[in-house]
Chain A
């Protein structure tokens, strides 16, 4: 394995931004520089877009055209290949937003707050997609577009939580106050999400004892489960792509007075 460690240390030394001591946390602090993130993410974007496109296309075509249909629900069950990944990402997206806020509050990293601000609209749109697809799925399955089932109600509350964080961001003029207040709200929301989910679950079983679970993932046949996994991975890649794109814009917006942004802009505007 000696060749590997030699190769790695050579890579490290030839890096432009290397410093004297190679501490293991360096990558973390480097990530905190908006300029580094902007330039690096520009290199990742083409690969990430390609990967997301390929995985999503594969999963979608597999799920819509090749997977077998459900015995009870027929072909409308194929909506699961969009609904479940969207709901997954909507939930994970909120935690990503909250963690970014926490990192910003604790380590005082500007870029973490920028990521938090970028994550909010993406998560909100995905929550809306989950609600919409859930409602459209409900019509052929249960006969009604909107049913107050536990999962849909929790998704709706998640949408309100996202809306609150976004509204608070835009309410404050001072970027600093806006970021910190939104971060606190996101953290309060995070603590509440399990409580809300469990309460709504309990409330729903109280009022509707017989339910059709919208996702029967564990008891799904492998042929139906595999494309779902692919779609979930594809959605994660897409989320990363969207998050990086939005964060880059936020970096440009907030760092517009710095020299590196001005150089970049002059080069782009001139070219």
Chain B
């Protein structure tokens, strides 16, 4: 994989992945905020609904998934924003590499700094919200695949609104319908396991959504960036 040709092919991906991870590391506090948000609002659930374990058990899977979705939605806004403001997005647009590759690198870095921590923290929240034991492994698997889908689809929305000033709210409006299949199958995975049914079929569909997103979203985001970021 280290022949000159191979290096040229994926260098866009790896270079931007490393760059974004490095930038995230330098802003550790900022990057941790989605996870902190995730944990804090999950505390709101028993406060708002009920502390009874029997009731929480029924809604735990869905609420954890909703919180993960909201946390990702809040963080995806900044995917291209800082690069747009300091000019590196323009540099990305004029590099000789295919544009979807750097975008995929950035989205992967975003998932590694947002989706993956959310996934790893979710068993703790499952414990706090009385998630039945059968639900933990499906929760981790579905969140891992699901947050990756959310990052990818969110990237398309971020690309469409990157040059707007109040883009954040519009971004939420744009990607919400696109997020709905992901949450449907994500919660279905966990709830199936909790109910004692086979949880692999919904997970497989989630995997299919992920595969489709990986293939198509970078292309859509690239097209959108060419339109919006070169005003």
Which residues in A have some Cβ–Cβ distance to B below 8 Å?
Answer: 157, 160-161, 163-164, 167-168, 171-172, 174, 177, 180-181, 184-185, 187-189, 191-192, 195-196, 199-200, 202-203, 206
Contacts and interface: CB of A to CB of B under 8 A. Distances in A.
Contacts of A206: 188
B174 A177 contact: no
Given A172-B164, A177-B231, A181-B228, A164 B177 contact: yes
B216 interface: yes
A198 B44 CA distance: 32
B204 interface: no
B177 A157 contact: yes
List the 4 closest pairs (A to B, CB-CB), nearest first.
Answer: A199-B181, A180-B227, A164-B174, A199-B184
A172 B180 CA distance: 26
Interface of B: 156, 160-161, 163-164, 167, 170, 173-174, 176-178, 180-181, 184-185, 188, 209, 216, 220, 223-224, 227-228, 231
Contacts of A189: 177-178
Contact of B164 (A171, A180, A196, A202): A171
A171 B216 CA distance: 25
- Say whether chain A's binding surface is mostly helix, strand, loop, or mixed: helix
Contacts of B173: 160, 163-164, 167
B112 to A, nearest CB: 24
Given A177-B228, A181-B227, A168 B177 contact: no
12 contacts: A163-B173, A164-B174, A167-B174, A171-B170, A177-B231, A184-B220, A184-B223, A185-B174, A195-B209, A196-B181, A200-B180, A200-B184
B160 A181 contact: yes
Nearest to B208: A195
Contacts of B180: 157, 196, 199-200
B14 to A, nearest CB: 27
A167 to B, nearest CB: 6
B180 to A, nearest CB: 6
B161 to A, nearest CB: 7
A45 B84 CA distance: 46
Contacts of A199: 180-181, 184-185
Nearest to B174: A164
B174 A168 contact: yes
